[in-house]
Amino acid sequence: MKDEFYYQLRDLLKQTGRRDIVVLAGDLNAQVGRLSSEENRLGGQWGLHGGRSDNGDRLLQLCADDNLFLASTNFRHSHHRNATWRPLSASQAWTQIDHVAVSFRWGGCIQDYRSFWNACLDSDHALVCARFVLRFGGVHKRHRLNVDVSKLVAPASSLKYQNELQ
């Protein structure tokens, strides 16, 4: 079942263009923990401590295969701002299982990622907020040089111009 989900997700990602901005966000039930130095291209160094689940391995493999950057591990916040799920029992640890991944090329556009625990939400998941700042290159106009040809009628300018051409 889990593998089928990731196969379908891979098929969906294959349909995207090379220049498309891909944002993968949601409750993936994937604990990735802290990334090793070999994995630092896939995300940041601020994932929550703890083990890595098999879904975490699947998510990191998906990021590696499809050039995604795991932005949810890229920002240093307190434990409660990084944790996205809290168990009902106090004996279990809070974990980070909700993630945001973006096309590697656009990884720098995510300026912040954090979770908000609100008393108004009756859920064991936190509200996750990622702040995107997209900057696109503007269209550059070619400035046209305006030449005042009426000055060539003046005898002094006309003579100077003819001398320059020779």
What is the tens place of the pLDDT at every residue in 8-17?
A: 999 999 999 8
Considering only residues 160 and 44, tell me which one the structure prediction assigns the higher pLDDT: 160
pTM of the model: 0.74
| C-beta atoms surrounding 36 within 10 Å | 9
What is the tens place of the pLDDT at every residue in 81-98?
A: 888 888 888 778 888 889
Residue 101 near residue 63, CB atoms below 8 Å? yes
Distance between CA 127 and CA 114 in Å, rounded?
Answer: 8
Residue 75 near residue 114, CB atoms below 8 Å? yes
CATH superfamily of the domain spanning 2-136:
Endonuclease/exonuclease/phosphatase (3.60.10.10)
Within 82-154, strands assigned E span: 98-103, 110-116, 127-132
Q: 75 is written with which tokens?
A: 């920002």
Residue 31 near residue 53, CB atoms below 8 Å? yes
What is the tens place of the pLDDT at every residue in 105-157?
A: 888 888 998 889 876 778 888 888 999 998 777 777 787 888 777 777 788 87
